[in-house]
Amino acid sequence: MSRRRAALVTGGGSGIGRAIALRLAEDGFATAVLDLDTEAAERVAGECDDKGYEAIAVGGVDVSDRAQVDAAVRRVRTELGPVLGLVNNAGVTGFKEFLRITDEHWDRQLAVNLSGPFYCCQAAVPDMVDAGWGRIVNISSSSTHSGQPYMAHYVAAKSGLVGLTKSLALELGPRGITVNTIPPGFVDTPMLRGSERRGLLGGSVDEHARLSPVRRAGRPADIAAACSYLMSEEAGYVTGQVIGVNGGRNT
C-alpha cells in the first residue's frame, strides 16, 4: 500500500469482524476496531498490536446511534487519519414467527443492520471524497439470496443493505470509491453458535456443515480474505457487486 490509510471495522470485536480487523491491519491499514463491547474491541486491537500492526479500539459505540457514530469517526480521523476504508459488519440476528414480530423487534433490526451502515457511510464518505479514493464493504447475509423463515425482519434489513450498496456504488464510483457487499453464509462465529444453542438451526453446526457443498462451515477468515481483496487497490474495477462467500450453499 503506497500511502497510510485508516480503516474502520464495525462489530470488530467478535467473529467475522475480528477476522476482518486482523486481516486489514496485516494488509497495512491503520485499523479502528469499533464495537458495542468495549473489552472485545480492546482485545482485538491488542491482538493487532501484539503482531506489530497499527490499531485502536473504539469501544462502547452503538452503530444505530448517529451521534455515537459521528463521534467515533471523528476520533478515528484524529488518531489514525482520514477514514478511507469502512467495513459495515456489526449486526444482530433475529428469529421470530412473522406474526410475533413486534414494532420493537422490527425497528431494532433496521436500526442496527441498515441505519447503522447508513450512519457510518455518511460519517466516513467525506474523507474518501476528499482523498478521491475509498473502499466500503457491507456485510449482508446469504439469507438475502434465499429468504429465511422466521427471520423476515432480519432479511428485510439485510436486503436493504444490498440495495444501499448498489446505489452508493453508482453514486460514488466517479469519486474513486468502490462499494460492495459480502453476504456470508453459515460462518462459525459466536452468533452462529448462539443460534445453534437456541435450537434455531434445525440441526447442529456440524450436521449442516456435512451437507454443505464444501463439507465444512465457513470460517471468519474466509470472509476476511474476500474483504481484503475488495479493500485493495487492485479491486478498483469491482463495485456494486454481491460477492457471496457461502461454501456453495447459495449460487
Count other C-beta atoms under 10 Å from residue 199's C-beta: 10
53 carries an active-site annotation: no
15 binds ligand NAP, rule: CB under 6 A: yes
**Which range of residues in 34-42, 43-51, 94-102, 225-233 is near ligand NAP by CB under 6 A?**
34-42
13 binds ligand NAP, rule: CB under 6 A: yes
Distance CA 48, CA 30 (A): 10
3-class DSSP assignment, residue 134: strand
State the sign of the Cα–Cα–Cα–Cα dihedral 110, 63, 6, 186. Answer: negative
**Which range of residues in 90-98, 117-125, 166-174, 225-233 is near ligand NAP by CB under 6 A?**
90-98
Contact pick of 9, 30, 40, 58 for ligand NAP (by CB under 6 A):
40
189 binds ligand NAP, rule: CB under 6 A: yes
Buried/exposed 88-106: b ≥16 CB within 10 Å, e otherwise: bbbbbbbbbeeeebeeebb
Contact pick of 25, 118, 186, 230 for ligand NAP (by CB under 6 A):
186
**Which range of residues in 21-29, 45-53, 56-64, 226-234 is near ligand NAP by CB under 6 A?**
56-64
- Which residues lie closer than 8 Å to 196 by C-beta, 6 or more apart? 204, 205
17 binds ligand NAP, rule: CB under 6 A: yes
Contact pick of 152, 192, 226, 231 for ligand NAP (by CB under 6 A):
192
CA distances from 128 to 83, 104, 137 (A): 7, 34, 14
Cell of 197: 444453542
- Catalytic residue (choose from 150, 154, 229, 237): 154
Q: Least distance to ligand NAP from the beta carbon of 251, Å?
A: 16
**E strand or H helix at 55, and its extent?**
strand 55-59
Which residues are part of the catalytic machinery?
154
What are the residues binding ligand NAP (CB under 6 A)? 10-11, 13-17, 35-37, 40, 61-64, 89-93, 112, 116, 139, 141-142, 184-187, 189-192
